[in-house]
Amino acid sequence: MRYKKLFIVAAAVLMLFILSGCFKKSTGSGAANLLFYGLDDSDVFDQMIAQYKQSHSNVQIRYKKFNDPTEFENLLVNEIAEGEGPDVFFVHNTWLPRHTKKLVPLASETLTAKTFSETFVNVAAEDFIQPDPNDGVKKIYALPLYADTLALYYNKEEFERKLPERGKPANTWEILKQDADKFRQQPEGGKLEKGLISLGRADNIALATDILYNFFLQAGVDFYDADFKQTQFANKGQDVFDYFVSFAVSQNKNYSWDGELTPVDRELKEVEAFLSGKVAVMVGYSDFYQRLETDLKNVKSRNPSVISKDDVAVAPLPQMSTDESNFKVLANYYGLAVSRNAKNKKAAWEFVQYVTSKNSAKTYHLRTKRPTARRDLIEDQKKEPITEVFASQLGYAGSFRIYSDQKFAAFLKEAIQNAVNGQSSKSALSGAQSKINDLLKLEAPNGLYPKPAKKKK
């Protein structure tokens, strides 16, 4: 009986030690099983997760990769609405404020709105520090993994032959437009065989709406009214909309693109036209260069010839102004956010902060080559080929608060195609604005930032 009592006491003491965490490598936020959804390959995060678990042995992390961003967003919306879904997930810089209520903001004494702006580039602060719908106070809802921007990819050999005095694309859109007729190949009365740049249509240009958003940004278009209830881009954005469409109008001197240079059903769209030498320039993000060899092989399987990888170069995106203080470029990137359904929100946010820390950001860049969002890594990345252009543009990167990226894009693409097919461009653009405003009236009648309800006394 005596030994039985001693055994019971010893077991109770052992259980107390276990529950108190004495046998854990670190206490942190307590035990946690984190489900992490993302759009990168798992090997991007394997090393970071392994290193994190060395000092957080009480935290288990399972990463699940998704391929399609649109399906990914729809899945997140449905799962979180049902009280399920991941603890940590990728969030696009345009997804706030539509999804703010699905997230839990960061509560930290060290990483505040002020220190966030000191750590990360301005566009990340503008996108991820948003008003809390409950109290109207601006809070951090995500931390950026990187910050990508649009740039020009061009065929060096083509520019050496056609524009040897410069050897590269123009640094303003106006001059680029003037250069177009030097690159166009079109037999008299025949079809367009080659052009300068893939601009003007939406059916066979994957980044058509991104490019249009960039033009709005560079033109200083106020996308919304002061209360963020309705859009108002059609008036001030008309000139740049017309500029974009003008490259697909056969009567224009800058005619460079049509519906046959690359078929609308081709997955690579403008990329295929560029790599097969049908245009000398295309607009793209940094990830295009990482896919270059694979894309070249795919295009070569369908075309008799492709350009050389060595002839692919990158240049900063042209501007509408020659004044550097007015430079703008569209940013497109993902950050990490914590779901309102996360069972251990503190542990989830600690992991997010680790993944976006300086050392982890170095690892992420090594795996993906995407440009950093951290100020303390920009100088080093300016020394890298290709990345240098994208990192150098971060100081003037900007974005719009797009309430529904999928639906806005559909309306704008329709407007572009309507204008190409003969509808008045003014009518086409104002039509898109009307459809977007109808959507906002239905889904966000109080605006993107409705005032918090007053508490009853």
Question: Same domain for 300 and 169?
Answer: yes
Residue 108's closest CA among 141, 135, 66, 72? Answer: 141
294, two tokens: 């694979």
* 3-class secondary structure, 87: coil
198 and 76 housed in the same domain: no
For residue 220, the SS3 value is coil
Structure tokens at 278: 């049908």
Instruction: Write out the residue range of the structural domain in which residue 223 sits.
Output: 149-330+404-443
Strand, coil or helix: 20: helix
Say if CB 197 and CB 347 are below 8 A apart. no
- 279 and 245 housed in the same domain: yes
Domain check: are 339 and 312 in the same one?
Answer: no
Cα 9 from Cα 22, distance rounded (Å): 18
* 36, 117: one domain: yes
User: Which of 355, 377, 378 shows the shortest CA–CA distance to 47?
Assistant: 355
The answer to whether position 388 is within a domain reads no
Q: Is residue 268 part of a domain?
A: yes
The amino acid that residue 95 corresponds to is: W
Same domain assignment for residues 82 and 37: yes
Q: Is residue 18 part of a domain?
A: no
Assign 3-state DSSP to the chain and report helix, strand, coil percentages, each to 5: 45, 15, 40
Rounded to 5°, angle at Cα 103 from 393 and 207 = 35
In a domain, 397, yes or no: no
Work out how many domains the chain is built from and give that number. 2
Both 176 and 309 in one domain: the answer is: yes
Q: Are residues 352 and 322 in the same domain?
A: no
Check whether residue 54 and residue 112 sit in a common domain.
Answer: yes
Rounded to an integer, what distance in angstroms lies between the CA atom of residue 55 and that of residue 50? 9
Q: Answer yes or no: do 254 and 185 share one domain.
A: yes
Q: pLDDT tens, position by position, for the chain (457 residues)?
A: 444 444 444 444 333 333 333 323 334 567 899 999 999 999 999 999 999 999 999 999 999 999 999 999 999 999 999 999 999 999 999 999 999 999 999 999 999 999 999 999 999 999 999 999 999 999 999 999 999 999 999 999 999 999 999 999 999 999 999 999 999 999 988 999 999 999 999 999 999 999 999 999 999 999 999 999 999 999 999 999 999 999 999 999 999 999 999 999 999 999 999 999 999 999 999 999 999 999 999 999 998 899 999 999 999 999 999 999 999 999 999 999 999 999 999 999 999 999 999 999 999 999 999 999 999 999 999 999 999 999 999 999 999 999 999 999 999 999 999 999 999 999 999 999 999 999 999 999 999 999 887 766 5
Is 2 inside any structural domain?
no
Domain annotation covers residue 6: no
**Residue 305 token pair:** 């010839």
* CA gyration radius, the chain: 25
Kindly state the DSSP code that residue 158 receives in the 8-state scheme: H
Using the structure block, give the residue that is written with the tokens 């035990």: 31
> What is the domain-level CATH number for residue 273?
3.40.190.10
Report d(CA 106, CA 353) in Å as an integer.
10
Same domain assignment for residues 416 and 361? no
Q: In this structure, is residue 390 part of a structural domain?
A: no
Do 199 and 91 lie in one domain? The reply is: no
